[in-house]
Structure 1
Amino acid sequence: MDPMRPEHLESLWHSARNRKTGALLKVLQTYFDKAQNCFECAFLLMRATSDFYESRPNSLAVTIMNVFQEWLSEHKEVYAAFLTDDIKRMALLAVLKQTKPFLIALVCDVYKLEENGVEYMDIVQNLLLRKRFSEASTVVASLKLHGNFTLEDIPIPLFLMDKMALLESYLEGQPKLQKELLIFLDNLYHDGNLADGVISNLNGKMISRDRNHPKTLEKIISRLLKQYGLPGETCPHVHYKRSKNALRYLFFKKYIEDDYSEPGWREMVCEVVGTNSSLQRDLLNELLWVNDYESALNFAVKLCVPDRQWPRAIRSFMGQCGPEKVQELIESWNSYRDQDDPSKYLPFRLELCDVEMVDTADGFENCIEIIKNYNLVGIDAEWKPTMGLTPARLSLVQLAVWDNVFVLDMLKLSEILSEEQWGQLYTDVLGSNEILKLGFGIAEDLKLLAETIKFPGGKVQNIVDLCSFAEKLRCDWPFLMEPKVPKVPGHKGLSELTRTLLGLPLNKNEQCSDWENRPLRLSQMIYAAVDAFCLLEVYEELCKRADAVNMNMRQLLEEATDAQKGAHRRRRKPQKYKSQVPRQHGCKTNTGKR
């Protein structure tokens, strides 16, 4: 059959409702076996299909090329005999009659055009002259010709045309080019006229109107920085803007909402400002604006801001205080004591000696061995607030049982533990059906944990999110959620749940502190321990309330789980759990109690 008129192929394709069938495969393989030049036959067949110009990933044109690629894997000897330079050029020119990138990339791969990619520079240049940037970018990326073109040739036009998928495909595996583009976009964010030269060479209809709008640029730059693992300082203009917004947020949290601890707030301010002189100046001016002269002086000293850069008001305040008072203020920075009344918050039921920081392999294994003896564990996690400046990174994972709270230093453990050792955590604890795991909004904690340790096949089973469980109880069994004390404003999340069931809220002052600081402050350790241990107390209280009205807590948990999975999912067989009462009844054996 003449490959230029593949009526039989079209008939087979349409009769099978546009699907690849055994009959179609057999015909194509016969074509390739009998063709004078199989490479020429393949691209002629592709070119002659009726859906060539509207090629979809499952079109006949693409199917022909995919089948040819599979056929070649079993006939490698034909490369040397039939794949000539002329055939390669003809195949590339043929596929460029249409515009779909995936088919262009497929032909480049099948015909091994990368082996002598520079031979096709004239074709790429012609595409650029005709403003066919999409096709040009696909050819350049497939043939690894990036070094022959500038940002203005391909990446910037793709960005202005809102061809982000093609742009990211073009940049894949090109770290130098990724950084260069981000620097350009950052400069464009600062000066919107920077792209005028490129825009003038493009057809106005090709350009997406909002591409150089500051908000659009900020979102794209932030996403690409995260995607390519580059520090925020790569784009100083956007980084400054986002840091300034973060600084304003911190001022709002401290001076308006007043829900930050003083040490935690200072840590986060220092983290945001760093050594950036512009941000340091903004910080000092903001502090003067809220009349906090003492903090302004302390930060000026702490951040080593040169005296000549101090605002005049700080120098005047320093002169009024005198040397002794100034020294006293500076010393008070390191000796701050929380004045908040601890009786207002849920106390920690264990002793501080029962809280263990786990930062060694031996400590980790000991932690797992102890937790295995319990059938109930509270899980929480902490990470440093990034306020959009950097990707979130897990700092701590807290595992609480009735006699201990283990605080896993994820920054240290992620460097020293083997995959096999991490497997113990999943096998013996997280994936164990014998241990009920409690969390609050735990999905994000587990997501960050999986990203941190990357243990393949790690599964979490038998877990209860007390956040969604409490909401279901409020709807279905409101008497189980009767508040112990009258409702007061200002509490939310887990703190509101403990206030409702246990009568006291949590002290959340350390929630947004720098959890990557080592060693942790005592107040941070207590906060981390209470956040995990209170999950056990909440569950204990719910069990008591259910027992008081002869309700089965395990059945309530299963109903909540089934409701989340959907009515169409098969209900799991109930599992038996021992009484969940602390210390005396909550553990299977003696569990290392001091």
Structure 2
Amino acid sequence: MDKDISEITDKWKNMNQTHIDTDEKIGPYLDKYFMKYKKTIYDSALSLFYALDTRNLRKSHKHEPISIQALKCFKDFVDRNQATIEEAFLEQKVILPACQFAIYRESETWISTICKYYHVESLPKADRIRLLQKTVNEKKFSSAAWFAIYAKVIREFNLQDIYVPLICQTRISVVEQLMKQDPAIAQDVVACMDKYIDNAGELASFARDIPGANFCLLNDKGIAKFAKRLAREYKVPIQICPRIDYNAKMNAIKFLFRRRYEQRKPMDKRTWETMIDSVFDLDSPASEDNNLVLELIYDLTNYQQYEEARRLAHLHRIPENKWPKLLLSNRSSPDRPLSRLGSGKIISDRNPKLVSVEPEKYSVDLPDDKIFYINSHEKFKEMNSYITKHPLLAIDTEWKPKLGLLNECNPKAALVQIACQDRIFVVDAVELCRDSEWATFVNAIINNPNLIKLGFSIHNDLRAISELIADMNIETKPESFIDYAQFHKSLVQAFKIPLPDYPASSGGLSKLAYTVLGKYLVKDDQYTNWAMRPLTTDKIIYAATDAYVLLEIHEKLESWCQERAINYEVLMKALLKKDSTKNKVNIK
């Protein structure tokens, strides 16, 4: 056997030195070895694995290590010859060393393959648990997780001894492999993380004995962010993770409060009320909700927002003996006007040192009667018929803003805006959420390769539309989209087009509009609950503007290219052949 193994290793070395494709050429020698020792295939294969591992045969710059190639050949050989291989020769004295070898390699590929082909499940459960405990004691936590999964002992072991150290090492993908095995495990992991919310120091203290612990992420903010993601992704009930839920709601309240009471252009009252009310579930409130509401009532009272404080107190049935004294003494006082709040509380969103001259505001160059609000089946049908006749469109969507709460769903489009050269359509996706014309819209426009569609971060808009029609059995295969979030950068990098400076405070589409058109978009209504009805005329025009400005940006960029003798049409066609969500252009 040693002679055969030496022959294999010598062949592999020679092939590497002569730059032959070893992945293909070494296979026949491995097959020959496995066929020769077919009657003792399991013992012989393990001997080969050990020998290849101990002979320090390094991976070449082009090929996998020979031990991995041997493992793959072993799998293929057993699969091809399953009917003639006598598993009776597979004894416990072979299985245990095979498991130990795979665990030592700390590789999921090795552990999963050995567990499957060496029939590790045939070992007594006590032996498998004993081996798992030994792996944990040796602090090989990734190997322990994989062995627990593939050796089928995941429910017979205290997994907290495995996943907590993995969290300290930020081996999150391995933790999630455990969570996917059973919803109960996912809940256990999130419940464990819940203990460390605002108490990351305890976890960091535990991590001192964990090799490879990532202390940079073991802080309150990092733990809270990670725990919230897991709780949302695995739909863990709020009752299991009250601290995570409390933390998420508190952050949402702080964010909304700043938007409403500490911004130069405050959030409108209707949006504030619908958004702040959506933070809490009035039908089944969490245990800490009243405390959060009470804190908010005190903050509102300090800002002399007495009417809103009373509204929330009544809505959440906060007894008057818990109200702030200042609120009790102002039972009938109205809210103080926002414009009269202390200037020290206002957060300026424009740095006057960076912008010496106030830039011009962008407005749609169309009369109001060319902006159509689509809120009926007949209007929707007419719109679809009209816009399919135009080869160039711009698409945008609006949705209810996300607050980062545990029970939030993925955003659905509340408005869909489509602009062509002479008209803008604003589709009320809330009113028409079940309309049959969505099938026509998707097939004739979204999936139509002959219509060029412009967008900005278009993948977000397409996702919102997909969520809207998710249960309507309509397949989306987006074609011919150009994402200007990336495309204009490609033009600048490829052709060195000189662009004007832009306000450092602006960003996104507003920044692009200023960069290309020299005008900025008014984004005061950006943070609006777009699912509210009815919508004001101002908000409809705001939504329409975000779509139409893309057509003007497109026209301006086209004229710039023509001035520089660049064939913009050819450039567009080349771009459309690429992934429309990336828009990476390589032009020489």
Q: CA deviation at 1:557?
A: 6.1
Residues in 2 aligned to 1:470 and 1:211: alpha-carbon distance in whole angstroms: 33
Amino acid corresponding to residue 213 of structure 1 in structure 2: N
Residues in 1 aligned to 2:363 and 2:54: alpha-carbon distance in whole angstroms: 69
Mean alpha-carbon deviation: is it higher for 128-137 or for 141-150?
Answer: 128-137
Q: Residues 534 and 131 of structure 1: is their aligned pair in 2 closer, same or farther, counting only changes over 3 Å?
A: closer
Q: CA deviation at 1:369?
A: 3.9
The answer as to 2:528 corresponding to 1:513 is yes
Per-residue CA distance 1:110-155 (angstroms, 9 max, x = gap): 3233466725222223333444433322210112322111243322
Q: Residues 28 and 205 of structure 1: is their aligned pair in 2 closer, same or farther, counting only changes over 3 Å?
A: closer
2:294 to 275, 278, 281: 281
Residue 44 of structure 1 corresponds to 47
Counterpart mapping for 1:60-459 below 5 A? 60-78=66-84, 81-82=87-88, 84-86=90-92, 87-114=94-121, 118=125, 120-192=128-200, 199=206, 203=209, 207-209=213-215, 212-230=218-236, 235-254=241-260, 255-272=262-279, 275=285, 276-318=289-331, 320-321=332-333, 346=363, 349-351=367-369, 354-357=372-375, 368-389=384-405, 393-396=411-414, 397-401=416-420, 402-407=422-427, 409=429, 428-446=444-462, 458-459=477-478
Verify the 8 A CA contact 1:108 1:142 in the aligned structure 2.
yes
Q: CA deviation at 1:49?
A: 0.7
Per-residue CA distance 1:348-391 (angstroms, 9 max, x = gap): 73449822147x7x987765444211122120022332244457
Q: Residues 97 and 237 of structure 1: is their aligned pair in 2 closer, same or farther, counting only changes over 3 Å?
A: closer
- What's the TM-score, normalizing by structure 2? 0.74
Verify the 8 A CA contact 1:441 1:466 in the aligned structure 2.
yes
Q: Residues 235 and 54 of structure 1: is their aligned pair in 2 closer, same or farther, counting only changes over 3 Å?
A: farther
Q: Residues 553 and 467 of structure 1: is their aligned pair in 2 closer, same or farther, counting only changes over 3 Å?
A: farther
Per-residue CA distance 1:148-187 (angstroms, 9 max, x = gap): 1124332223223443343233333322111211111111
Structure 1 unaligned blocks of 5 or more: 330-343, 570-594
Counterpart mapping for 1:461-472 below 5 A? 461=480, 463=482, 465=484, 469=488
Amino acid corresponding to residue 16 of structure 1 in structure 2: M
RMSD: 4.6
Verify the 8 A CA contact 2:90 2:118 in the aligned structure 1.
no
Q: Residues 205 and 551 of structure 1: is their aligned pair in 2 closer, same or farther, counting only changes over 3 Å?
A: closer
Per-residue CA distance 1:60-116 (angstroms, 9 max, x = gap): 222111111112222121455446352433422343444334312221123233466
Residues in 1 aligned to 2:572 and 2:266: alpha-carbon distance in whole angstroms: 33
Verify the 8 A CA contact 1:105 1:142 in the aligned structure 2.
yes
SS in 1 for 2:444: helix
Q: CA deviation at 1:514?
A: 2.3
Mean alpha-carbon deviation: is it higher for 52-61 or for 522-531?
Answer: 52-61
- What's the TM-score, normalizing by structure 1? 0.74
Q: Residues 501 and 39 of structure 1: is their aligned pair in 2 closer, same or farther, counting only changes over 3 Å?
A: closer
Residues in 1 aligned to 2:554 and 2:170: alpha-carbon distance in whole angstroms: 51
Per-residue CA distance 1:167-220 (angstroms, 9 max, x = gap): 233333322111211111111224457659x949x8465655456421221232
Q: CA deviation at 1:410?
A: 8.1
SS in 1 for 2:190: helix
Q: CA deviation at 1:258?
A: 1.8
Residues in 1 aligned to 2:169 and 2:505: alpha-carbon distance in whole angstroms: 47
Residues in 1 aligned to 2:381 and 2:118: alpha-carbon distance in whole angstroms: 54
The answer as to 2:579 corresponding to 1:555 is no
Q: CA deviation at 1:236?
A: 2.7
Q: Residues 114 and 489 of structure 1: is their aligned pair in 2 closer, same or farther, counting only changes over 3 Å?
A: closer
Residue 31 of structure 2 corresponds to 29
Verify the 8 A CA contact 2:419 2:547 in the aligned structure 1.
yes
Verify the 8 A CA contact 2:129 2:157 in the aligned structure 1.
no
Amino acid corresponding to residue 115 of structure 2 in structure 1: C
Q: CA deviation at 1:300?
A: 2.8
Verify the 8 A CA contact 2:485 2:508 in the aligned structure 1.
no
Amino acid corresponding to residue 465 of structure 1 in structure 2: Y
Q: CA deviation at 1:41?
A: 1.9
Q: CA deviation at 1:271?
A: 2.5
Q: Residues 115 and 270 of structure 1: is their aligned pair in 2 closer, same or farther, counting only changes over 3 Å?
A: farther
Residues in 1 aligned to 2:239 and 2:114: alpha-carbon distance in whole angstroms: 40
Q: Residues 535 and 568 of structure 1: is their aligned pair in 2 closer, same or farther, counting only changes over 3 Å?
A: closer
SS in 2 for 1:317: coil
Residue 581 of structure 1 corresponds to none
SS in 2 for 1:173: coil
Mean alpha-carbon deviation: is it higher for 184-193 or for 24-33?
Answer: 184-193
Q: Residues 292 and 558 of structure 1: is their aligned pair in 2 closer, same or farther, counting only changes over 3 Å?
A: farther
Q: Residues 550 and 522 of structure 1: is their aligned pair in 2 closer, same or farther, counting only changes over 3 Å?
A: closer
Verify the 8 A CA contact 2:197 2:220 in the aligned structure 1.
yes
Per-residue CA distance 1:415-471 (angstroms, 9 max, x = gap): 8889xx76x656532454532322234354345556777888824315262785499
Residue 591 of structure 1 corresponds to none
Verify the 8 A CA contact 1:162 1:208 in the aligned structure 2.
yes
Q: Residues 7 and 366 of structure 1: is their aligned pair in 2 closer, same or farther, counting only changes over 3 Å?
A: farther
Residues in 1 aligned to 2:57 and 2:231: alpha-carbon distance in whole angstroms: 35
Residue 460 of structure 1 corresponds to 479
Residues in 2 aligned to 1:517 and 1:355: alpha-carbon distance in whole angstroms: 15
SS in 2 for 1:76: coil
Q: Residues 365 and 103 of structure 1: is their aligned pair in 2 closer, same or farther, counting only changes over 3 Å?
A: farther
Residue 13 of structure 2 corresponds to 14
Q: Residues 350 and 231 of structure 1: is their aligned pair in 2 closer, same or farther, counting only changes over 3 Å?
A: farther
Residue 590 of structure 1 corresponds to none
SS in 1 for 2:418: strand
Mean alpha-carbon deviation: is it higher for 96-105 or for 425-434?
Answer: 425-434
Q: Residues 458 and 345 of structure 1: is their aligned pair in 2 closer, same or farther, counting only changes over 3 Å?
A: closer
Amino acid corresponding to residue 269 of structure 1 in structure 2: I
Residue 351 of structure 2 corresponds to none
SS in 2 for 1:224: helix
Verify the 8 A CA contact 2:139 2:210 in the aligned structure 1.
no
Aligned residues: 533
Q: CA deviation at 1:303?
A: 4.5
Verify the 8 A CA contact 2:187 2:240 in the aligned structure 1.
yes
Residues in 2 aligned to 1:15 and 1:153: alpha-carbon distance in whole angstroms: 46
Verify the 8 A CA contact 2:396 2:456 in the aligned structure 1.
yes
